[in-house]
Structure 1
Amino acid sequence: MSSRLLLWIAAAVIGFILLCAAGAGVLTGGAADTGLACTPELAASAPASSSPAPTPSVRVSVTPAVDGRYPAIGRWDATQVANAATIIAVGQRLNVPQRGLVVALATAMQESNLHNLDHGDRDSLGLFQQRPSQGWGSRAQVTDPQYAATAFYRRLLKVDGWQAMRVTQAAQAVQRSGLPTAYAKWEADATMLVTRLAGTAGVPQPCTAVAIGGQGWVKPVDAPIVSGFRTGQRPGHDGVDLGAARGTRIVAASAGTVSRVRCNVGAGSCDVDGHPGLGGCGWYVDITHPAGVITRYCHMLTRPLVREGQTVVAGQQLGVVGSSGNSSGPHLHFEVHRNGDAGSTGAIAPQDWMREHGAPLG
């Protein structure tokens, strides 16, 4: 047995142990759990706030760390993350769809940078810079994060067709800002915080249960196939499109090493929605597995959470679903390649491979 194969086996064994850690079971068969699975690393943290982080009194699925404080996540310090958790928790209590949580966070990011401000333009105050003179409530009310979030959601839910709007359009329909497109730039960060906080106890968890097939493979997202492999209409389509919602977690289909992390577009940025004809996979990840198998994950919303050369286990989060690159809407484009060939000639039908390896797609 070669030393390279031994290394792969060791990685798989370690992955199994990690997935079973802290009381998290590994499930055989069934649908993949959408909870955060074995994500050991976060983006570089911003400096922690010098003031104590507020603890939301609304408790749904968002709770602080053991010591009562929230961790910094990415550019957002503990105080900002705690305010985001309050906004998310209020939305969950009101049964607001996840898209609404993203709209609310993007709005608060633009209006206050997730700080509960006691000042603003004219009489604007609080996380959402709501104005008492415009009927949002008293000064004390709009500077109460729970009240402010509730008021925002109630107005959002009254907007006809808000779920079909872009984030910036939905936010503007509520806020009526003088900068109507300013909310767009916060969508990626808002989605990231909702993904990290909603339903994951407020702290990015190292491990949770994930459905891994008997051969060590798991579906990258739990979603239907909306476009097949090399169909008559799309003979050059080297993978399948899985119709998952924006912000859905994408996980590694099996243990391996991240061989590529790229922004791939014909022109412009991967941090905005693409469109048909633009060309490119947007933000994408390639993972190299044993025996020359390669999997590819395209059109992510933001820069992937992994780096080139990093070893990952089956079920480990790679990023979230988006619509970057050559894309008509949010989905995951998923490919499987053989013989170490990441090009078109190495592509095989992903649905056949995954079914044969105990993790059928769709």
Structure 2
Amino acid sequence: MKLRALMALTVAAVAGLMLLGAGIGGLSYGPASAEDCLPTTGARSASAASDGGTEGFDREQLTNARLIIAAGAKLGVPARAHLVALVTAMQESGLRNLPGGDRDSIGLFQQRPSQGWGTAAQLHDPTYAASKFYQRLAKVPGWERLSVTDAAQVVQRSAYPNAYAKHEPAASRLLTAIGTGMPACSPVSAQGWVAPVKAAVVSGFRTTDRPGHNGVDLGAPRGTTIRAAAAGRVVQSVCNVVPASHGCDRDGSPTVGGCGWYVDIDHGGGVITRYCHMSQEPRVHIGDRVTAGQPLGQVGSSGNSSGPHLHFEVHLRGDSSPAGAVPPTEWMAAHGAAIG
């Protein structure tokens, strides 16, 4: 009996290793980082667990939401993947484990056996279905740079690709209320704004000694995740350095000119924000749509810089030149997302 038990344990261990090497355990999300935090929306979401973050969902829906989140936590996915999965299940099934659907669609995500998602019995298991969703999402190059709607659509290929967006606020509140063991991100204000980093202002807007300084310097450590201050469209994502031969993939200095790796986002209504001196090529590209709080890159010291920090600017009237710049601390405070 002892020999048989030992053999059974050995077989189980080998099977587990094979799963980790070739199956769901082989997801390529990468290690957890500072950007792995729970997305929140407004003051209400910051306390969602105590004042109704689960409001509007019944016991069945909450159970399925917890199973989706638990499957992601077991796989070590980042918070944004949890959000994409919840939004998808809300659109596809209303967070209900449906026995059928269009053609051969089944379960929470309405995945189809005929499309290689698994057997009907497997797809009716919420944990299996959620794990397969995360597995497919991880294989999408640059999925983390996509909007939640686009990330969901590229995995699901829905006939209604624009329908996911309406579920994002509720999914964000639900995710915050249920939790994943991750810290909370800075909350997005009621006006839709969030601090790009949490750090003190180490150099102000157009001070006496720097009258040409058209933004503020936020003294965040190297590698800190820089987040979009509000939703919008990326209109610049380039290396700006003088001389060009210096490049942006190494630290600059006060004798080097330019913003280094930087991003400009057009938020509509003539409002543009700028994020300078990133440590490496930004994670977003010209034309990308971004959400408030979405990671753009990491704090560095490229371009005209004497040390790691984020140089942050706000421009009005659609004017990205110095003439359009306004004091960022005043603008952000007025929009519920104080910096510094």
- Which has a greater percent of helix? 2
Give me the TM-score of the superposition, normalised by structure 2: 0.49
Give me the TM-score of the superposition, normalised by structure 1: 0.46
Higher alpha-carbon Rg: 2
